[in-house]
Structure 1
């Protein structure tokens, strides 16, 4: 904790000097600009639950309490010829309840950054990428400085290219009401589409290329990224030719302050196992199925998602959102979590209605599902990387989450959060599970 606070203090101390180094003009090249820093603290309690049996990756039946801390510092540099470089450093301390296992929709999105138990709890490079923007016309718009966004002007019609280390979800499956685990919904099934098994190492980052064709009313994005060598692994394959995760997404948004619809398709190639093959081997040998033992290169997984948002009032601060996703469920869940089909939706209400315009109240529900092959594998005692009760009486995992985001002052928000989950880990024999949390988020 002392090391973490020292890092945050150093980051905040650097803000004035970096701010003086830039006068805000577009011709200021090669000068690093401070884009922000953040600290998020989450104290979450899992209540005890009905649990007649348990496996290596089950929710702890006696309950659990865990605290997590994430720190981040974000910088960027303008270069000539429409080039920019971004460099982000983060650090994670703490853990998630029940070791961040036992659910398809895990309850604390920040524990993605914790990685596996063997990863050191010290600063690491989260993003390190080059961005090139090619204007396709003379019309421009002002953009404010933010994480991984230098302030200035951008062409409203342009080609964007990003190359380097980043998170795939930085550019795909975005949603104004359910996009950030640090200020919005905390459950993994609500800040991303859980059926989209996007390329990432254990912490949630990878190397790759993203190309986007941006227009005022629509955008088309394509990305190809390195996959991990093994499920939920920190080691990435050496080259895109070895294994890759590809996605293409069309965004339709006729007005900047209006509704948006995003349609995404993905295809992964990696060293994955096939559930039916692992089951067949286990039945022939009289053993418990082991999907990792069936891993082989050249295996594929594909899927589709839809993502919508509908502003209703209060300049978009009040609105609705939804997501739905499907993947083939034939090969093992590999990078994000263990979900093969999902449907979610929710509502955000602005605090304007009770005299606190910077506050938000939100509630959402999720239904996560498994493919028949995936559920049969778990029912026979197989383990994934977040699921494994030793047996399975299958039922859809059903999640409700509600939070209130209280703006204490300009840079600090506090959020009580409650989650209720039926059939945790898709198991009717277990639960229901209840979780209560308090989240503090500081951002500059």
Structure 2
């Protein structure tokens, strides 16, 4: 931990570089972020444990991610973005045992050794549909300048679907907001991604002041939560459509998705003497679902969010996490009232659940890539998270203490509750 903090301190001395100031027409920009998350849990009480159970023993783990964000303008309305990234460390209990996992900055890669890879590499082209323009500020994967108020946008390459879908002002980014996986996005949205959260595909978007519509077709992993994407796009592909509508100080996003992949089927696996979802995999299987995502801005300091999502739950979870239904709500409060405008206090509650087919499979002794205690006394996985984001330095340096209470981890009344205490250190420029 000390080593990571020294790296952060050194990086604070490096000025952000871009060709021009925010709001001007940039041809190039560069940004950086580093996030270190340390979490501790004192162990959970349990009547029994399985191979994917949250640990009954005291444990502490640390994760780190570092990302370079490079943007280049190729033409008036054409931009290219490249994000080299380093990630290392581990989540508690090997990032298993809780469906709404408490650290959105960790991955189930098995090897905690820091690894460098290309997170994003995509091209974005805008087609103007209006003479009126608006100012776009210089930001992460966003070149400052003028953009049409109404436009079509095409994105192609490697990216995260979470970059464009299911966004929320108050609950979306584990580097700066809530850490829990089921507060990053709609919990039952099994969005296409490899184990590190990225995919390859194409995204089409229509944006106007009145409403926005976006569609994406993206590759799914070749195996559940795997690192390699399935090249057989005729049999394995994800489709999603989202409609976004502002209402004064509120905003509503409605999302639908369907994934096709070489999936296993819960009912078939449950009939086996030794239930194994991987033994029932077959192309042609699908997972479909929807999500509703609402936010309301009470003032510049106070906002509220709520999400509800559901998928059919017949076939195995393929990419995100083992949640078939999820309801969440919370608030985010800026610190202006106590003269700390760069600080944020966040409080959220989540209730996650799984389908009857999924329950029966786990109760028969089956496991997924995220949960599996050997048997199951089913109960909804209910979570409370609270954090405080404290601004430390004029060059965008924050520390965030965080606490999460998880009732019935992995939907099991015979285990838990789990208590996770953590701290996040984040720097960006």
Q: For structure 2, which runs of at least 5 residues remain unmatched after alignment?
A: none
Corresponding residue for 1:435?
Answer: 420
After TM superposition, the score normalised by the length of structure 1 is: 0.92
CA shift at 1:3, angstroms?
11
Shift of 1:217: 2.4
- Partner of residue 229, structure 2: 236
Question: Which of 269, 277, 286 is 1:291 aligned to?
Answer: 277
Distance 1:25 1:68, change over 3 A: closer
- Separation in 1 of the partners of 2:354 and 2:90? 26
Q: 1:119 Cα shift? A: 8.0
SS in structure 1 at match of 2:105: helix
Q: Which of residues 104, 110, 116 is equivalent to 1:117?
A: 110
- Distance in 2, Cα, partners of 1:187 & 1:224: 26
2:60 paired with 1:69: no
In structure 1, the residue matched to 2:348 is 364
- Are the counterparts in 2 of residues 159 and 212 from structure 1 also a CA contact under 8 Å? yes
**1:253-332 → structure 2 map (5 Å cutoff):** 253-255=246-248, 258-280=249-271, 282=272, 287-313=273-299, 315=300, 317-332=301-316
The 10-residue stretch of structure 1 (425-434 or 232-241) with the greater mean CA deviation from structure 2:
232-241
1:423 is matched with 408
Q: CA deviation at 1:4?
A: 8.0
Moved more, 72-81 or 1-10: 1-10
SS of 1:123's partner is: strand
Which structure features the higher share of helix residues? 1
* Mapped partners of 1:4, 1:98: distance in 2: 22
Q: Is it true that 1:156 corresponds to 2:138 in the alignment?
A: no
Does residue 157 of structure 2 align to residue 173 of structure 1?
no
Shift in alpha-carbon separation, 1:26–1:355, aligned structure 2, 3 A: closer
Q: CA deviation at 1:370?
A: 0.5
The count of corresponding residues between Structure 1 and Structure 2 is 428
Q: In 2, Cα distance between the equivalents of 1:439 and 1:25?
A: 30
Change (3 A) 1:25 1:70: closer
Per-residue deviation at 1:10? 10
1:2-401 mapped onto 2 (5 Å cutoff)? 18-19=17-18, 21-22=19-20, 32-34=28-30, 36-112=31-107, 115-118=108-111, 121-255=114-248, 258-280=249-271, 282=272, 287-313=273-299, 315=300, 317-401=301-385
CA contact (8 A) 1:11 1:73 kept: no
Q: Which runs of 5+ in 1 are unaligned?
A: none
Tell me the CA shift for residue 295 of structure 1: 0.6
Determine the C-alpha separation between the residues in 1 that align with 2:427 and 2:370: 30
Tell me the SS of whatever aligns to 2:340: coil
Deviation above 6 Å: which 4+ runs of structure 1?
Answer: 1-14, 23-28
Residue 392 of structure 2: SS of its match in structure 1? Answer: strand
Report Cα offsets for 1:34-65 as digits up to 9, x if no partner. Answer: 1x101111110012211121011101101210
**Is the Cα contact below 8 Å between 1:218 and 1:254 reproduced in 2?**
no
d(CA) in 1 for partners of 2:150, 2:160: 24
